[in-house]
Amino acid sequence: MTGFLSELALLFHIARRNLFTTFINFIIGLIILVGTCGQVAGSSLLSTLTSSMSKSVIGSAAGHLQVYNDASEDELAIYGQMGGQDPSLEPITDFPEVKKQLAADPNVKNIVPQGIGGGLITSGNTVDITLAKLRDLYRARDEKTPSTEGKRLTAEGYAEQIASVKEHIRQIVKVIHADAAKADALRDAKTVDPSEQEHLVTAASDAFWADFDKHPYDSLEFLENYIAPQAGDADMLYLRYLGTDLEAFQKAFDRMYLKEGQMVPTGKRGLLLPTYYYEENLKLKCARKLDKIKEQLANSRRTIATDEELKRWLKENQQQTREIVLQLDGIKTKTATTALQGFLKSDEKDLNGLLAKFFDMNDQNFHERYDFFYAQIVPLLELYRVRVGDTMTFKAYTKGGSVQAVNVRVYGTFEFKGLEQSPLAGAMALMDLMSFRDLYGYMSKDKLNEIQALKAAAPSKGLNRETAEDELFGQGGSVVNESVTSTIDEKQELSGTTAKKRGATLDENTYSQADFEAGVVLNVAVLLKNEHDLEATQARLSKMSTPNTHFRVVTWQKAAGVLGDFVYYARVGLSSAMSIIFVIAMIVISVAMIMATIARTATIGTMRAIGAQRTFIISMVLAETSALALFFGSLGAAIGSALILFIGNKGIPATTPEQYFFFAGPRFLPVLEPMHVISAFFIILAISALSTVLPAIIATRVSPLRAMQTDE
């Protein structure tokens, strides 16, 4: 034992003495230092990035586990697949039974039914919105009912409101007429549709407006059919939605909070719009661009003078003043013109020209003009095309391929804490399950009741297959009736009364928890009490599947779709990069050690000549490499740890909207864990030891005879 300790002490002494004796050792040490530092920093960054993305995915929609029908051909992809297509899933038809089975696991905390879909919404153009407002006023006046804004006015009040809106529409027609004349002057005469110009001339004439009140509904129909399409500022937008039990969703996903409005009342149909989508797609475009410029100036080093994108946004605002002008009636136009003339100190009388000058902004005047815009111009405008409390119409393809439309009231907007600026977390609306099932094509109780009511009201008769031919074509059949000529009351048929009543009925319906859970769902989010037991819980839940409830259980990363793939490939990419670096380091260390061994041939030969055994020479080479690894590895680990702690304290700001999601917030805050340092240290020791094998073998082959040789 004493001999072993003495030999160990000698090896330590030799390794310490030779630590800095050669330049090659210094190069090897630097390689070890950089490798250890990179391993500590890289593993910490990757681990934190994975953790951040898991928080974003788990906290925004996916939960820890997702359950869906095992008969589905596609795999669940909450955030979409490669190519942007939503997966086609087979429905879970017995959710209560699936919920009962899942709830039996002791680690299951929350179970949330879900269904992902997408539909088209039309935000409407300014003409459509204003004409709808005028039609509503006429209808409320004629039927002596409140308008859609809930106001019941006197005859004088209706006359005043109608006159104001008519004047606004007339102003809009003038703007469209002037713009069309400019556009026609620049186009080839062959491409100009003369009927469009004729319709504009008619709508702009004094005679048209003098006779407007004689036949208001006919006049409105003319404007809707021939003038509104020429405005050209309507948007057909695609919106993904998540049908869910909204109360259960809010309880389970505690990062969600309301930004504006209220939660959908218990048992009601309704929609919550993501704030990011609401701001990006439904806000006045020039206002949204100003908001984005302000955000960029505040959160980054970008400036209007040096940034081409910011310049482009301002240029677009100068060229697209029409969306503001169309919203303003005569009184508001005069108000805006006066305000801009005073602010700009200009004698310009044309509102378009004033707005173009106003949007000619720079770094010095931007904030002053931004504040003026929101204080003086925005109060005159409808800032959002869809407001909280409005009803939106969704059009979507059902499971069977037909098109279904559903009216849903917007109760509010929502965000996920830390993900406010993320387009990924802010791209999916939350919808009640009943509306989702209608869009999915499921025969809901409401739809069944509607069909039965239509059958009862229609003068039709059901036929059996056996007697159908006799009833239709035989003598004395009771089906065929004499047709009569009659006049269609277009006012009644086109007024939308029936559709409005149906929409109002659905909106007024109250559903029980059993109603929400009784229908089909496409997938189920499961949140756990202990997320570290995720894989074991997944295995237990998978075994619960029965022939009647045959489901598949996947983790959040698998269910996330393209985002989960990103996490996987990021981990694989970084691991592969580190592996390549370590292989290169091992080769370089091995070559350097071989060179060092060759340079010390005489010394090693002398040691062999005075009795050193091969095992001692191998141990000596290993000890020297280990000493280099210990010293420079510790230094590298310390530098890597200090770097991560520094970055973790300061944070890396998210510079793109996507990074908000990846970072789970506005800043990336990497976390250093002891395991990152320990694993890096042992990895570098192992690599150093492996790289020493060949030099050690070469060292043991040095003959003692070489000790007798001298250089000439």
Nearest by Cα to 415 from 261, 263, 270, 255? 255
Q: Give me the pLDDT at residue 124, please.
A: 61
Question: Which are the contacts of 312, defined by CB distance < 8 A and separation ≥ 6?
Answer: none
Strands 652-653 and 667-668, by their bridges, are antiparallel
Length of the chain: 712
Mean pLDDT for 474-479 is 54
In 287-300, which positions are buried (b, 16+ CB within 10 angstroms) versus exposed (e)?
Answer: bbbbeebeebbeee
- Per-residue pLDDT at 494 exceeds 50: no
The string of pLDDT tens digits covering residues 509-520 is: 888 888 888 888
Q: Tell me the sheet residues that pair with 112.
A: 525
Q: Which long-range contacts (CB under 8 A, 24 or more apart) does 500-503 make?
A: 502/450, 503/391, 503/407
pLDDT at 500 over 50: no
**Does 708 score more than 90 pLDDT?**
no
* Residue 438: both structure tokens together: 């209608």
Which of helix, strand or coil describes residue 349? coil
Helices then strands (H, E): number in the chain? 31, 12
DSSP assignments along 696-711, one per residue: HHHHHT--GGGGG---
Rounded Cα gap, residues 308 and 315, in angstroms: 10
User: 475 pLDDT band (50/70/90 cuts)?
Assistant: low
Tell me the pLDDT tens digit for each residue of 185-237: 666 656 667 888 888 889 889 889 988 988 888 899 898 888 887 776 556 78
pLDDT value for 710: 47
- What gap in Å lies between CA 172 and CA 330, rounded to an integer? 10
Is the pLDDT reported for residue 446 higher than 70?
A: no
Q: Model confidence over 655-687: pLDDT tens digits?
A: 776 677 777 777 888 888 888 788 877 777 777
DSSP 585-615: HHHHHHHHHHHHHHHTHHHHHHHHHTT--HH
pLDDT score at 132:
83
C-beta separation of 661 from 419 below 8 A:
yes
523: its two tokens: 């997938």
User: Rounded to an integer, what distance in angstroms lies between the CA atom of residue 551 and that of residue 549?
Assistant: 6
Measured between alpha carbons, how far is 363 from 3 in angstroms, rounded to an integer?
A: 79
CA–CA gap between residue 694 and residue 155 (Å, rounded): 102
Task: State how far the Cα of 45 lies from the Cα of 644, in Å rounded to an integer.
Answer: 8
**What local confidence, expressed as pLDDT, does residue 506 receive?**
64
CB of 110 within 8 A of CB of 252?
yes
- Provide the pairing of β-strand 403-416 with 391-397: antiparallel
How distant, in Å, are the alpha carbons of 372, 600, 631, 699 from that of 616? 84, 15, 22, 10
In the DSSP assignment, the letter for residue 372 is H
Question: Would you state the pLDDT for residue 413?
Answer: 96
> Quick check: 432 and 269 in contact, CB under 8 A?
yes
Is residue 275 within 8 Å of 257, Cβ to Cβ? no
Each residue of 13-52: pLDDT tens digit? 555 555 556 667 777 777 778 878 888 888 888 788 878 8
What average pLDDT does range 475-490 have in this prediction?
A: 50
Per-residue pLDDT, averaged over 134-150, amounts to 75
Whole-structure pTM over 0.75, yes or no? no
